[in-house]
Amino acid sequence: MSLKPLLKLAISAILIGFVFGQIDTASFQATLQKANLWWLLGAFVAFNLSKIVSAIRLNGYFRDLEIPLSQINNLKLYYLGMFYNLFLPGGIGGDGYKVYWLHQRYKTAIKSLVLATLLDRVSGVAALGFLAAILFVLSDFKRLSDWLNIFAIVFAVGVLPLYLVVCRKFFDTFNASLYKSTFLALVVQLLQLLSALFIVYAINASAILQYLTIFLISSVIAVLPLTIGGVGAREFTFFYAFGLIALEPNSGVVFCLLFFILTALSSLVGLFFINGKF
């Protein structure tokens, strides 16, 4: 294993160790054991619906590159990429595998495929940031700082127009699907937000708006290539943010664990397509 994945693993372990060293483990276990399985099932369904829409969005970029990939095969490739991203972080990543597979199958230029997968990530982060900024100004977090509140408002107003301008300038190959993909990026994040809401219901937590706000902010942080699959980064974000507004952190950490379990179970679907023959 190279140094980079070892460093990510170390950061994840340090953050997880710190968070679990600070919380009340008895309260954590009690909250986890009482989680409502029906709400968790709803969260699982909503999460996977978000991944299906995300796969459709990505295939729109592939269609711009004239890749005749069916939606079914595209979905299989997407889930296989999820599996690689979560369970094999030290080897070939999910995005890297998709680029390799498509290049081998359709002989599309690697640079174009890399741009497509990069734009897929960028569109997701832009949608996340937009929704996170809106929830921030509606939540208790707006009381932390007037400047942060102003920044969130400006960010919410400007992030999507700025994203569209950047895409038209640097990703002009994908202009044909730009507006549709931007809309789908918002749908993806709204479905993930619905999944998060169901998890909040499952653990019978209050302060729903605060949970959803930090969920979106932690999702942006989890995208950064600092930890293994975002593990540790999301938990630390919840722990730190809840401390800022005097919310009990144990339920927040339970929320993170349940979301990771749903992600892991969904990613395991990729095992069925591990040979790449589809």
**How do residues 111-132 score in pLDDT, each as one tens digit?**
999 999 999 999 999 999 999 9
Q: Hey, CA dihedral for 117, 15, 219, 126, is it positive or negative?
A: negative
Cα 180 from Cα 50, distance rounded (Å): 15
Residue 1 lies in a domain: no
Residue 84 lies in a domain: yes
**Terminal CA-CA length for the chain:** 29
Residue 14 lies in a domain: no
Cα 221 to chain center, whole Å?
9
Residue 7 lies in a domain: no
Residue 6 lies in a domain: no
Question: Tens of pLDDT along 24-70?
Answer: 677 778 777 888 999 999 999 999 999 999 999 999 999 999 999 99
Neighbouring residues of 25: CB distance < 8 A, sequence distance ≥ 6: none
Residue 18 lies in a domain: no
When pLDDT is cut at 50, 70 and 90, the band that residue 77 belongs to is very high
Q: How far is CA 21 from CA 14, 63, 239, 246, 259, in A?
A: 10, 48, 11, 18, 20
Range of the domain at 237: 29-273
Residue 3 lies in a domain: no
Mean pLDDT of all residues in the chain?
87
Residue identified by tokens 């909250």 is 31
Residue identified by tokens 């023959």 is 277
Diameter of the chain by CA atoms? 55
Residue 13 lies in a domain: no
> Rounded to two decimals, what is the model's pTM?
0.89
